Amino acid sequence: MLKPNQPKVSVSRRLFLQRAALAAGGLVAAPAVLRARAPDSKLNIAAIGVGGRGSGNLAEVSSENIVALCDVNERNLASAAMKHPGAKTYRDFRKLYDDLKSYDAVVVSTTEHTHAFATLPALRQKKHVYCEKPLTRDVREARVVIDAAREAGVATQMGTQIHAMDNYRRVVELIRAGAIGTVREVHVWVSRAWGWQTAEEAKAHRDIVHVMDRPKEALAPPKDVDWDLWIGPAPERPYHDVYLPGPKWYRWWDFASGTMSDLGSHWNDLPFWALDLDAPLTVEASGPPPHPEVAPASMTAKYVYGPRGSRPGVALAWYQGTHKPEIHKQGGIPKWGDGVLFVGEKGMLLSDYMRHKLLPEEQFKDYERPAPSIPPSLGHHKEWIHAAKTGAPTTCHFGYSGPLTVANHLGSVAYRSGTRIEWDSKSGRIPNSPEADRLLRREYRKGWTLG
């Protein structure tokens, strides 16, 4: 447990972080009892998923006490255990939760079809949680996690590390300062093209991983991998190397929601933050005919958001793979491979992760930028650690990143159903399309339940 009788966090430091969080919009600090922790004490952290991205997350929180490690891959687990020899090791996170009694926080870096299952037990025990993006595999799971986090009142953070970088902060400040006037239109595009595609797309893009149908043959799983545990709550299927190693699984509907939900966590984060977006009113999507097994390499999803306070409604369009905005195809803006384009009544703002431009550049050459008002982040993981100890807010807590995850998933739902969906955020249903509504959730394999 945390060591008692440590000095309290300074008032100025707490105010600094609170200002940063408030600038991010609508963030709520943890209960007062959690603010009694000392910032120089150490959290007892359990890490679930310690290979790949999980290895990076574990390294980021290794300043704390790592008390438990869990991974279905024995090789990943052994490698992490060498760095943290005092930690207990587990293959099944359900056994970790049954056994582990003295811990303060959990870092979840499993495949996304088990995110909710690995996250909820900690939230229900009122433990702090850091979870990789996207927060869940589907809409229903995201809403369950949002509710559990709200009830727990603990420090949460989704792994959208770009949110902590300075470039996004400057863009948010420019949009909120009215640099390009009122924004009613946003375009977001990414060039990653993984998943199902036409033969023409496969020829045109060497980096496309061409996936078609579920393999009929079964292969022996790698000796280090517990395939049954890896499958978890998803429908059972034989192992094949189209799922592992690496992030190959993320293309398959049973395990993930493709590029829309994965990279949407990073790229749609910027307009969500800058424009205070939340629940879309409608979503429609287009692309190749939906494949029953595999997410598309290329698609477009169009969202309509209603007014928020004094802000007018916004139309947001998402493009991936070979799809691009018309203004990009016509050369009306710099042809960045990935980007976010805000279209305002006085101009445009183009951004990617590391840079941004006000357009047309000649028009804005003498523009005086607003002074920075959103303080630098401590670092995406450090924010969460500090919040867990002091009660200060985080910038991508589940109350913010949960609705972002839901919106991204709804793009996939609209695509898979071939329907313009009308989203009722209060009930969590799609009243105009029973077919689309069924895609918000799924039945789980025997032995697995969200409770």
Q: How high is the mean pLDDT in each 10-residue block of the chain (451 residues)?
A: 35 41 43 54 97 96 98 98 98 97 96 97 98 98 98 98 98 98 98 80 58 84 97 96 88 94 97 98 96 94 96 97 96 97 98 98 96 96 97 97 98 97 98 98 95 72
Tally of structural domains, the chain: 2
Measure the CA–CA gap between 201 and 178, rounded to whole angstroms.
40
Measure the CA–CA gap between 287 and 299, rounded to whole angstroms.
4
Measure the CA–CA gap between 320 and 338, rounded to whole angstroms.
9
Measure the CA–CA gap between 341 and 247, rounded to whole angstroms.
28
Helices then strands, counting H and E runs in the chain, come out as 16, 16
The pTM of this model reads: 0.91
Find all residues with CB under 8 Å of 329, minimum gap 6, and list them. Answer: none
| Block residue for tokens 């078609």 | 212
Report DSSP state, residue 334: -
Measure the CA–CA gap between 234 and 138, rounded to whole angstroms.
12
Q: Determine contact, residues 196/288, Cβ cutoff 8 Å.
A: yes
At residue 361, the pLDDT reads 96
| Block residue for tokens 């969460």 | 384
Measure the CA–CA gap between 437 and 440, rounded to whole angstroms.
6
Bridge partner list, 65:
44
Report DSSP state, residue 267: H
449 part of a folded domain: no
CATH of the domain at 76: 3.40.50.720
5 part of a folded domain: no
Query: Do 335 and 371 sit in the same domain of this protein?
Result: yes
**Helix (H) or strand (E) run with residue 227 in it:** helix 227-231
Measure the CA–CA gap between 426 and 403, rounded to whole angstroms.
12
Query: Do 194 and 84 sit in the same domain of this protein?
Result: no
The three-state DSSP-derived secondary structure of 126-152 is: CCEEEEECCCCCCHHHHHHHHHHHHHH
52 part of a folded domain: yes
> For residue 4, with 0-12 CB atoms within 10 Å meaning exposed, 13-18 middle and 19 or more buried, which class applies?
exposed
At residue 377, the pLDDT reads 97
Measure the CA–CA gap between 45 and 43, rounded to whole angstroms.
6
| Block residue for tokens 């790949």 | 52
At residue 39, the pLDDT reads 67
285 part of a folded domain: yes
444 part of a folded domain: no
How big is the CA angle at 181 (ends 178 and 186), to the nearest 5 degrees? 105
Query: Do 304 and 197 sit in the same domain of this protein?
Result: yes
Structural domain of 140? 11-164+377-397
CATH of the domain at 411: 3.30.360.10
The closest of 374, 356, 309, 368 to 179, measured between CA atoms, is 368
**Helix (H) or strand (E) run with residue 15 in it:** helix 11-24
At residue 204, the pLDDT reads 65
At residue 245, the pLDDT reads 85
Measure the CA–CA gap between 387 and 390, rounded to whole angstroms.
5
Query: Do 36 and 51 sit in the same domain of this protein?
Result: yes
Structure tokens at 304: 């309509």
At residue 16, the pLDDT reads 38
Measure the CA–CA gap between 314 and 96, rounded to whole angstroms.
44
Find all residues with CB under 8 Å of 368, minimum gap 6, and list them. Answer: none
| 351 backbone dihedrals φ, ψ, rounded to 5° | -140, 150
Structure tokens at 138: 């589907």
Query: Do 222 and 325 sit in the same domain of this protein?
Result: yes
85 part of a folded domain: yes
Query: Do 191 and 222 sit in the same domain of this protein?
Result: yes
Query: Do 322 and 420 sit in the same domain of this protein?
Result: yes
Looking at 59-192, which runs of residues are DSSP E strands? 65-70, 88-90, 105-108, 128-132, 156-159, 183-190
Query: Do 364 and 384 sit in the same domain of this protein?
Result: no
Q: Determine contact, residues 251/258, Cβ cutoff 8 Å.
A: yes
Query: Do 201 and 313 sit in the same domain of this protein?
Result: yes
How are strands ordered across the β-sheet holding 128-132? Answer: 88-90, 65-70, 44-48, 105-108, 128-132, 156-159
The closest of 10, 61, 9, 11 to 34, measured between CA atoms, is 9
H helices of 368-441, where?
Answer: 380-390, 398-417, 434-438
Residues in the chain: 451
416 part of a folded domain: yes
Query: Do 178 and 317 sit in the same domain of this protein?
Result: yes
Q: Determine contact, residues 395/25, Cβ cutoff 8 Å.
A: no
Handedness of CA 382, 384, 385, 390 (dihedral sign): positive
Using only C-alpha atoms, the chain has a radius of gyration, in whole angstroms, of 22
Q: Determine contact, residues 341/187, Cβ cutoff 8 Å.
A: yes
Query: Do 428 and 323 sit in the same domain of this protein?
Result: yes
95 part of a folded domain: yes
| Block residue for tokens 């209060």 | 426
Handedness of CA 220, 223, 225, 227 (dihedral sign): positive
Q: Determine contact, residues 330/337, Cβ cutoff 8 Å.
A: no
At residue 212, the pLDDT reads 65
Query: Do 331 and 418 sit in the same domain of this protein?
Result: yes
